Amino acid sequence: MSSLYDSLTRWVEMQKKVKEWFDNIYDNVKKGDRLELILYTRIAFQHIMRTIKAFDNWLQDPFIISNIPREELEAVWETAHGLLKQLIELDIKHTSNVRDHLIKLEKEGRINPLLMDLVGESPRRREERERVTLSI
């Protein structure tokens, strides 16, 4: 059992160090350029996914969950539910804001043409198609 306890201790210590690291870089990242914001946000998401995967592994292990008190499981559920709601709210807000911004850029003719080529008909293609249609 000592190897299990050692493993749990290492995990806790690693999480404390990661939390401290993110706390230390927070202000610098906020002041950083777009690339830094993207990279550090991705690092944060990667660590979130790693942590969630670890929780999920625990919840799938009958030997572990059979020894976790109900109160601890309730606390994990409460936190998971709060995180889920917060993540969904972030996704709704972010996706809506990006959609609205892209619509604005397209109307102003300032959207990156490569994006349009990747996801659909570009304004240039639409204009060419309409010109052909109108000339008939």
Taking only the tens place, the pLDDT of each residue in 52-108 is: 999 999 999 999 999 999 999 999 999 999 999 999 999 999 999 999 999 999 999
Is a pLDDT exceeding 50 seen at residue 117? yes
- The range of the structural domain enclosing residue 27 comes to 1-68
Mean per-residue pLDDT for 34-58? 97
Domain count, the chain: 2
Looking at the fold, whether 63 and 32 belong to one and the same domain comes out as yes
Looking at the fold, whether 80 and 60 belong to one and the same domain comes out as no
Mean per-residue pLDDT for 108-120? 85
pLDDT for the residue numbered 42: 98
* CA 37 centroid distance within chain: 12
The answer for residues whose C-beta is within 8 angstroms of residue 32's C-beta and 6 or more apart is 40
Domain boundary among 10, 35, 68: 68
Looking at the fold, whether 63 and 104 belong to one and the same domain comes out as no
Looking at the fold, whether 3 and 64 belong to one and the same domain comes out as yes
pLDDT for the residue numbered 84: 97
